[in-house]
Chains A and B, each alone.
Chain A
Amino acid sequence: MIDIASIIKKIDRLKPVPQVAHKVMAIAENPESSMSELSKIIVYDTAVTANLLKAVNSAYFGLPDQVNSVHQAIVYMGIEQVVDLVLMSAGSENLKEAQEGYDLDTGDLWKYSVSSALIARELAEKIGAKDVHLIFTAALLKDIGKVILSQYVKDSFEKIDTLVTEKGFTFREAEKEVIGIDHAELGGLMAQKWNFSPKMVEIIKNHHLPQKSSMSEIETSIVYMADMICMMMGIGVGSDGLAYRFHQEIVKRLNLTEKDFQDVIARFAEKIEQIESMVRI
């Protein structure tokens, strides 16, 4: 077993998700917020502003005109969309790098995270969930723990793989067994340290539904299902493969039919090139 405290300490070496993300989420959740309030907060962070404008001008949106300011971006795209893009920009820093332990090249984990977030948003809207931005952000950040755990997974890969291939463990269960902590639990600790809401911490920590009790949480269930769909599509999937558990009852709880399920995949297929153009920036 590895010294867990030394793993947790590594959180301090990462750049936390910037403040702008927290502020923008607060604005998004307040129905009385205005466009200019949102704009003021975003322009204050130059890196986020630059990323936002690049994303808005990417092939994904295919806008007829060049967008040159945050204000213009909000007018064109609406508050909802801009909030998502700012959250994406804020989360991208740590997720873009290669993760050797999970056999993920540069950009793979990022592509996986963005895809999960977009699908989670689609499911959330379909189901009529309330906190769409919370769900979007949680889906985007759910695998942040992999950024730290990757090194440990690399060192113990054979042991983890043996548990998965011979003992019927999920990859997460095997991480926990061999390393002492799994990527979801570690991600929850990171979110906590970075001052995300207790709800966000819970979703990230429970996104593989380790206990039956987490299945009753609608937001967690949506993030879980988006993750499952991305895994099936193979978008940015690594050495952990599809070695997670599928809980059929969640499909029922979210009122998804077999057709809904496949429709999400088919719709994603249509957008995949544009999504790739957006995550490359």
Chain B
Amino acid sequence: MNLNVGVADMKVSNDPEAVLATYSLGSCIGIAIYDAVARVGGLLHYMLPESTLDPEKAKKNPCIFADTGIPALFKAAYKLGAKKQRIKVVIVGGSQILDQKGFFNIGKRNETAVRKMFHRNNVIIDYTDVGGVVNRTIKLAVDNGDVWLKVSGKGEKMI
């Protein structure tokens, strides 16, 4: 069963039949987390780095921003029995338009936001495929933690 994670959205599940998928990330970031013991998986698709932009919107939907979406993802997974020290993390997305620089480089800033947050909280990132100009889609099987990455125009691979 495919569970679609929309833009600025997240899903967690311990249903072995579930495959979490989020499509067409662009400069957004997709974070897949998995605890192989609890067999709990989660997937987040956030758009922007910091909720200070609009705290009201972050309250309504924390998944718009990295700094509110990532804690929400982990908390939801803990509720289903996942443990921080067992969680594996995959990060994809964060593409950039050519010549995009500085503040307007949302892809790069989205990537920096998650790296900073994980560094501060001692979370090790197991796999990343970020940056460049490509468009990515990611899927996570809750049954065994398999992750597939699709790059538009270049097919899908298991990572």
Contacts and interface: CB of A to CB of B under 8 A. Distances in A.
B61 interface: yes
A245 B97 CA distance: 6
Nearest to B137: A234
B64 to A, nearest CB: 5
Contacts of A233: 7, 26-28, 47
Given A164-B133, A231-B26, A266-B54, A239 B104 contact: no
Nearest to A247: B99
A269 B99 contact: no
Interface in B49-75: 53-54, 57, 60-61, 64
B86 interface: no
Nearest to B95: A242
Given A242-B96, A248-B99, A269 B64 contact: yes
A161 B153 contact: yes
Interface in B83-114: 93, 95-104, 106-107
B4 to A, nearest CB: 10
B95 A241 contact: yes
B5 interface: no
A266 B47 contact: yes
Contacts of A266: 47-48, 53-54, 57, 64
A157 B154 CA distance: 10
Interface in B26-40: 26-28
A59 interface: no
A265 B48 contact: yes
Contacts, number: 120
A235 interface: yes
Contacts of B53: 259, 262-263, 266
Interface string B122-154: 000000000011110000000000000000111
A237 B97 contact: no
Interface residues on A, range: 35 or more
A269 B26 contact: no
Interface string A236-254: 1111111111111001000
B21 interface: no
A276 B95 CA distance: 23
A243 B133 CA distance: 5
B24 interface: yes
A258 B106 CA distance: 10
Contacts of A231: 26-27, 97
A273 interface: yes
Of B8, B96, B97, most buried by chain A (CB within 10 Å of CB) is B97
27 contacts: A108-B24, A161-B153, A161-B154, A232-B26, A232-B27, A234-B26, A234-B27, A234-B28, A234-B93, A235-B26, A237-B24, A237-B26, A237-B135, A238-B153, A241-B153, A242-B27, A242-B134, A245-B98, A246-B101, A247-B99, A248-B102, A258-B104, A265-B106, A269-B8, A269-B47, A270-B60, A272-B8
Closest A-B pairs by Cβ, 6 of them? A234-B26, A239-B153, A269-B8, A232-B27, A246-B100, A258-B103
